[in-house]
Amino acid sequence: MWLILIFYGCLAVGTEAQSGKITAVSIIKGHNYPVESHYTRTRDDYILQAFRIPNSASCRRPGTKPVVLFLHGMTASADTFLLNGPKDGLPYMLADACYDVWLANFRGTRYSRLHAYLNPNKNEFWRFSFHELGVEDLATFIDYILQLTNEKTVNVVAHSQGCTTFLVLLSMRPEYNEKVKTAILMAPAAFMEHTSTLGQTVFRPYIMVSPDSEFLQHSKLRSHIMPTVCRLGSWSVCNLYLFLNGRPSSHFNTSVYPSLLATHPAGISTRQPRHFIQLTDSGKFRQYDYGRVKNLIVYGQKSPPDYKLYNVQPLSPVHIFYSDDDSSVNATDVRFLGSKLTSVVMNRITKPTWHHLDFIFAITVAQDINKPIIQILDKFSSK
């Protein structure tokens, strides 16, 4: 069931360089790190791609390396974590610190648009929300990596919806708890009552009525046009366009915009933001709401069941990073999430205007986020 293909990045980079397209492989190669592409197949037959940085010239410690698996947010992909480059990008810093670094790409993103028999040009392909990303995709990635590396556990580093998939998986399939050593959740999206984003306002009417279908597709044409358009206009206008977020940050590394716009958005299903909007409306962290009649058929009850957060008990405490000024994932909601978890360490960012993407792209991210994360991983992953 697992392995379909493994090929080394150098094979892929030739063709990609010709088309001038920026990809995770070309970015990693460009920084002189080794890279591998891996494909794995879910129980429901999606074929997903993960990237791996198996090594770094700066790692001088021999022996086995603990696995770190990166989980990206909505409209993002593995690319998101890679754009900062080696000095300030956590995947490279962890490879330098002798970790075996893996970057997931959830179904529907530019790297994971294959299915055994469904066509991404048809709506059937897009019948999923973050629920399936957790219960199917994340489980598949974890099992694939553990089998390939012969390790017993992975460490998880997640941002935003990546955290949602983690919470969904461990709630729904608690047997995965013992496969997770540590989990770092940055701006975890779960309770959404106090969230305010463009997705929740401007796009809401469209998202709520459209069928399950592709949304914010990664397009080559747009990837070439948007950087120019944004340069002529204003970068912060493009910030709105990109992540539907809406609030300028004084920390954001603006040098990253051209490559960010060339690689994002990476593609999602309309059901993903619709499920999040449902969470905002209900104030609950619960499964997808199909409407009363279909809920009765699917769940045996009129409203969708809550995710059982008391099931989330990986082998060491969950470490949450959150910010007072993140309007996409509000601090009030994150603290409520923390109160529902059995074992949790809360790391609060109080810097004014520290927003949702600053956990990855702030100028000071190496100092404020990445080094503390590496310390946590060093402490727990060796035990």
Catalytic residues: 160, 356
Query: Which residue of 327, 336, 338, 344 would you call a contact of ligand NAG, by CB under 6 A?
Result: 327
Q: Indicate the helix (H) or strand (E) that contains 347.
A: strand 344-349
Of 56, 73, 37, the residue nearest 360 (C-alpha): 73
Q: How far apart are CA 166 and CA 211, in angstroms?
A: 26
The nearest distance, CB 260 to ligand NAG, in angstroms, is 8
Residue whose token pair is 């996409």: 328
The nearest distance, CB 133 to ligand NAG, in angstroms, is 25
Size of the site for ligand NAG (CB under 6 A): 18
Q: How far apart are CA 5 and CA 21, in angstroms?
A: 22
Under the binding rule (CB under 6 A), the answer on residue 369 touching ligand NAG is no
Nearer to ligand NAG, 160 or 316 (CB): 160
Under the binding rule (CB under 6 A), the answer on residue 353 touching ligand NAG is no
The nearest distance, CB 254 to ligand NAG, in angstroms, is 8
How far is C-alpha 184 from the chain's CA centre?
12
Under the binding rule (CB under 6 A), the answer on residue 330 touching ligand NAG is yes
Under the binding rule (CB under 6 A), the answer on residue 253 touching ligand NAG is yes
The nearest distance, CB 334 to ligand NAG, in angstroms, is 10
Q: How far apart are CA 327 and CA 321, in angstroms?
A: 14
Maximum Cα interatomic distance, the chain, rounded to a whole number of Å: 60
Query: Which residue of 88, 96, 100, 358 would you call a contact of ligand NAG, by CB under 6 A?
Result: 88
Under the binding rule (CB under 6 A), the answer on residue 87 touching ligand NAG is yes
The nearest distance, CB 331 to ligand NAG, in angstroms, is 6
The one-letter code for the residue type at 206 is Y
Contact call for residues 181 and 316 (beta carbons, < 8 A)? yes
Peptide bond preceding 265 in cis form (omega within 30 of 0): yes
Candidates 55-63, 122-130, 173-181, 323-331: pick the segment binding ligand NAG (CB under 6 A): 323-331
The structure tokens listed for 45 are: 């037959």
Under the binding rule (CB under 6 A), the answer on residue 83 touching ligand NAG is yes
Nearer to ligand NAG, 77 or 316 (CB): 77
Q: How far apart are CA 138 and CA 132, in angstroms?
A: 9
CB-based contacts of 371, cutoff 8 Å, min separation 6:
none
Under the binding rule (CB under 6 A), the answer on residue 317 touching ligand NAG is no
Query: Which residue of 58, 64, 234, 255 would you call a contact of ligand NAG, by CB under 6 A?
Result: 255
The one-letter code for the residue type at 46 is Y
CB-based contacts of 76, cutoff 8 Å, min separation 6:
109, 159, 160, 264, 265, 266
Candidates 50-58, 73-81, 97-105, 326-334: pick the segment binding ligand NAG (CB under 6 A): 326-334
Strand partners of residue 186: 159, 321
Task: List residues near ligand NAG by CB under 6 A.
Answer: 83-85, 87-88, 194, 196, 253, 255-256, 259, 325-327, 330, 332, 363, 365
